[in-house]
Structure 1
Amino acid sequence: MTMTYPTLAERKLARQRETDEAVRSLEQALTAFARDKGGRYILFGSAATGRMAEHSDIDVIVDFPDEFRSEAIAFAEDENWKRGLLPDVRPRDYCSDALIADAVETGKILS
C-alpha cells in the first residue's frame, strides 16, 4: 500500500478553510454577545475582507457601554484564542476617528 501525503498547497488550502470557518464561528459568537449586552464589535482588516494570510491577526474594535466594556474585551480575546486565532482587540476609546470610520466602511458591524 502506497502512502500519499498532501502537498504544501493542499495543506495551506486546508488551513485556510479552517481559518475561514473559525472566523465565521467567531462572528456568530461576537454578534450574540453584542446583542445580549447592547454593544457592537467592528471586525475589520483582512478577516473582514476575506483576505487573511497565514499569520494574520483578527482586528476588532469593541464599542460597548462602560459597564460591559471590560467583559466584552475579555470575551472577544477568549473567543479568538479558543479558535486558534490571534486577536488584536481594541476599545473604541483607544481608536482614532479615522480608524473607526475606515473600519465601519470596510469592515463588518457585529451587533
Structure 2
Amino acid sequence: MDKVVTIAERDAREAARRRSAADAIIAKLKAFAISRGGRFLVFGSAAVDAMSSESDLDVVVDFPSDREGEAVDFVEDLSRIHDLPVDYYLRSLASERFLARIANEAVTLS
C-alpha cells in the first residue's frame, strides 16, 4: 500500500521546491544583471529565507530604460521555466515609500 502523504508533508515539499526554484532564478538574475548593467532587488519571503508552499518571488527590476523590457522578459521567462510565480515591480515606476518599505530586507543582485 502506498504511504499516505499528509497535507503538512505536501506543503513542506512544495515549500522546498519553491525555495530551490527561487535559488535557481536568483542565480540567473544576478548573472543577467552583471552582464547587462542593471540590478534586481529581491524582497519578501525569498529574501528572508521564509518561503512557504504558497510563496512567490518578489523582484524590483532596476535597469536603464533601454534594457528594462529585456530584463522583464527575462524575469517572466524564468518564472515559467521554474514554475514559480514572480511579482515584479519596475524601479522606474516604484514609489519612494514602497522602496523604503522593502529596503531593510531587499537583497541586491548586480
Q: Give your verdict on TM over 0.5.
A: yes
Q: Distance in 1 between matches of 2:32 and 2:93?
A: 21
Q: Distance in 1 between matches of 2:86 and 2:30?
A: 16
1:67-92 Cα deviation digits (max 9, x unpaired): 21110011112112211111111110
Alignment partner, residue 7 of structure 2: 8
Q: CA deviation at 1:58?
A: 1.7
1:36-75 mapped onto 2 (5 Å cutoff): 36-75=35-74
- The structure where helix makes up a greater share of residues is 1
Matched, 1:103 2:110: no
Q: Distance in 2 between matches of 1:29 and 1:11?
A: 27
Alignment partner, residue 90 of structure 1: 89
Using structure 1 for the length normalisation, give the TM-score: 0.89
What are structure 2's unaligned runs of at least 5 residues?
A: none
Using structure 2 for the length normalisation, give the TM-score: 0.90
Q: Distance in 2 between matches of 1:103 and 1:74?
A: 23
Count the aligned residue pairs. 110
Q: What amino acid is the match of 2:91?
A: R
